[in-house]
A and B are shown apart, each in its own frame.
Chain A
Amino acid sequence: MSDGTILDELSTVYVYDGSYDGLFTAIFDAVYSRREPADIVSQERLQLMLATRFVEVETDPSKAARVKKAAREKLGSQAMSRVYRAYLSSGSNREIFIYHYLMMGFRLGKKAGNFLTDPYVFNVFSLSQNVSRETDKMMGFMRFSIMEGGVQYCRFSPENNILPLTLSHFISRFPGIPMVIHDTGRRLLGVYDGKDRYIVSAEGFVPPKKSSDEECFEGLWKLFYDTIGIKERKNLKLMKQLMPARYFRHVWEF
């Protein structure tokens, strides 16, 4: 695909739309154009650099599906869920780590996961782990209110984009109960109407009013929280270490 100009000397940066399919389309394009990416970035993180050729990627679900299928066959489903979690992380450079991890996987198969001393493999592992850890914590720290009309509503502001993971968790926990999870940092809404789920922009969204019972149960929970601690063992330092202050904003007990 060389066009024989000076552009060949430039490093190539693929720009995708931020979606998971977009990322896999970018990987598809990079592989088939044989132009090793210097970076893969989403539009919102795009910064113009000198001496760089930018390639705009047009998201194509069928291309993405081909890469995903091949990767699943070659690396296994555990590796793919790791890649998905790394994609959801807020780590910069995550796309290029994923690209190199996948390339290594295509070469080596499942063995690639053993190369933990390889920086790309290691970074994909630790980003994905970071996402898993935050998801696990959030599943406990998220608090729902029941709103007028019976919808469950919860707001949170996670570091990584874990809305899809937490939404799935709560849908399987409360099947059939409509709910809205509001990521206030990314301005996203995870909506479940009792049957289908969507992730939409929260632009212009005003949460409904809390139902009249809410205050009572928030009070009871706070009472429980205050009573359960053993005062002879008081250890606020430990408490804060386990539940850092950034989680305080959306819970009732403080």
Chain B
Amino acid sequence: METNDKLRILTASAKFDAACTSSGSERRSFKGGIGSAVSAGCCHAFSSDGRCISLLKVLYTNYCVNDCKYCLCRRSNDIERASFEPRELADLFMNFYRRNYVEGLFLSSGIIRDPDYTAERLLEVLKILREEYFFCGYIHVKAIPGSSPELIKALGLLADRMSVNIELPSESSLRLLAPQKSKEKVTRPMGQIRDGIIQRKNELKLFKSAPRFVPAGQSTQMIIGATPDSDYQIIRLSQALYRTYGLKRVFYSAYVPVGSHPALPKDIKPPLLREHRLYQADWLMRYYGFTADEILSEENDHLDPLLDPKAFWALNHLEQFPVEINSAPYEMLLRVPGIGVSCARRIVSARRAGRLNFDDLKKLRVQLKNSVYFITCNGKYLFPAFKMNHSFIYGGLTAASSMMPAVTEHRQLTMNDDFDALQPTTEERLKCLTGQF
């Protein structure tokens, strides 16, 4: 088979994996080596669905012994199948990399023969790249569930990021749709990678040249909308993963109907808005100090389609507002709808130089459209008529255009500007805007 056809088939099979970030790892090239990685990540193109293309995202093979009902590559599905040869894939990748088409490699695979055999093939690709080409750029590789710990360790020593996909947010869904998988099969490699990362951190304290192990951390993915799991269950699970396994990212992928099982929804549009809201909630947990139980609850277990989760929270906690811009702690500024991480930092920095009023906020390009209901400057609202009134604010937040033309006139549309290298990274922020991640 021609490389051409292999690339087409194995890209088509990989495209539903949402993770395509190159962030979190800093690598420098050395003489004779090639490649580098910047921790902010880098997008090289945007595909027709508006998602960022950062990595060469392919499967090593789309033959698979498993029969997961939601997956395009399930054994029982009648599709074109192909496999790369390790050297063929490594050469193709290096040719893409030298032309600056991509920032790194994302290598996943169906399970061919058995998990260990598959993991060995992936390891071979990584070895060619790191030890023959001396490639110093970004590599994301899948930990194959069920493969031996030695192989996972060997992969982790060569890769920047590893991931094990949970795919379905609850064990009952997993049992129904992915009979060959189990929670244990997913969490075991996750635990191993976490322990490896911790071990490396401890070794670093003792000696400087401790070998790198998964320096960009691990991530996972969940499919949204294939099973009846609620948003509350999903973000609770994400929170648990961040806390217990120290994951860097959880990706959410709106389900595109490719499955066959009677329990799977058919003819649905991918739930993109739901995916977007979940990412917003995820951001709140990672960068804004929110917990899952602040965002949703047992009774109210789905994210609001009209309001973003932060605005929703603020509306239900009006007793904590208004927030005085000149004195509120940074953590509280972050909780104001319309004020993000970079914006809050700018306010904190600027108010060291003097008291701020609303004109100053406009100069700092603070977006007032949503935040104006929740903030005061020197004890005053922008408009004295503003009352801490639920329905009034709800109307303002959900109105298609701002209720205050006088304010928005001055507003710049480029709000995602920060003055220092801040978290979240540029790449992530771009994705935040696209609802893609």
Contact = CB atoms under 8 A, between A and B. Distances in A.
Nearest to A142: B100
B205 interface: no
A65 interface: no
B28 A220 contact: no
A174 B103 CA distance: 13
A175 B27 CA distance: 13
A4 interface: no
A172 interface: yes
Given A115-B350, A175-B30, A228 B47 contact: yes
Interface string A216-242: 010111011111111111111111011
Interface in A117-175: 117, 119, 122, 125-126, 129, 133, 136-137, 139-146, 152, 154, 170, 172-175
8 closest residue pairs by CB, A with B: A238-B50, A229-B48, A229-B47, A114-B353, A233-B49, A235-B50, A140-B44, A227-B11
Contact of B356 (A117, A136, A236): A117
A232 B15 CA distance: 12
Contacts of A76: none
Contacts of B52: 242
A140 B43 contact: yes
A140 B45 contact: yes
A208 interface: no
A243 interface: yes
A225 B256 contact: no
B254 interface: yes
B42 interface: yes
Contacts of B30: 175
Nearest to B42: A140
A228 B11 contact: yes
A117 B4 CA distance: 55
Interface centre among A140, A172, A232, A243 (most CB of B within 10 A): A140
Interface of B: 3-4, 7-8, 11-12, 14-16, 28-36, 40, 42-54, 56-57, 92, 95-96, 98-101, 103, 137, 254, 256-257, 269-270, 272, 346, 349-350, 352-354, 356, 360, 363-364, 417-420, 426, 430, 433-434
Contact of A230 (B3, B16, B40): B16
A38 interface: no
A225 B349 contact: no
B49 A223 contact: no
Given A117-B360, A228-B57, A136 B92 contact: no
Interface of A: 78, 111, 113-117, 119, 122, 125-126, 129, 133, 136-137, 139-146, 152, 154, 170, 172-177, 213, 217, 219-221, 223-239, 241-243, 251, 253
Given A115-B350, A143-B99, A233-B256, 12 more contacts: A115-B354, A116-B353, A116-B419, A117-B354, A119-B363, A143-B100, A145-B99, A217-B99, A225-B45, A242-B43, A242-B52, A242-B430
Contacts of A119: 363
Contacts of B420: 78
Contact of A117 (B14, B45, B364): B364
B30 to A, nearest CB: 7
Contact of A239 (B29, B49, B350): B49
A141 B47 contact: no
A80 to B, nearest CB: 14
9 contacts: A115-B354, A117-B356, A129-B417, A144-B100, A175-B30, A224-B7, A227-B12, A232-B270, A235-B49
Given A116-B363, A233-B270, A129 B99 contact: no
B45 A229 contact: no
A114 B353 CA distance: 6
A78 B419 CA distance: 11
Contacts, number: 176
B175 to A, nearest CB: 27
Contacts of B417: 126, 129, 133
A117 B48 CA distance: 40
A227 B47 CA distance: 9
Given A136-B40, A143-B99, A176 B269 contact: no
Interface centre among B12, B16, B48, B269 (most CB of A within 10 A): B48
Given A144-B99, A228-B11, A238-B434, A177 B34 contact: yes
Contacts of B350: 114-117
A220 B256 contact: no
A236 B33 contact: no
A237 B434 CA distance: 11
A159 to B, nearest CB: 14
Given A115-B353, A228-B15, A233-B256, A220 B7 contact: yes
A145 B101 CA distance: 10
A125 to B, nearest CB: 5
A175 B29 contact: yes
A221 to B, nearest CB: 5
A172 B29 contact: yes
B56 A233 contact: no
B254 A233 contact: yes
Given A116-B346, A140-B44, A144-B100, A230 B32 contact: no
Contact of B256 (A141, A154, A230, A238): A230
A224 B42 contact: no
A140 B103 contact: yes
B364 A133 contact: no
A91 to B, nearest CB: 14
A139 B42 CA distance: 8
B100 A154 contact: yes
Contacts of B8: 223, 227
Contacts of B40: 136
Contact of A173 (B7, B29, B356): B29
Contacts of B32: 175-176
Given A223-B8, A233-B272, A141 B45 contact: yes
Contacts of A170: 100
Contacts of B354: 115, 117
Contacts of B95: 213, 217
Given A129-B417, A140-B43, A217-B96, A172 B28 contact: yes
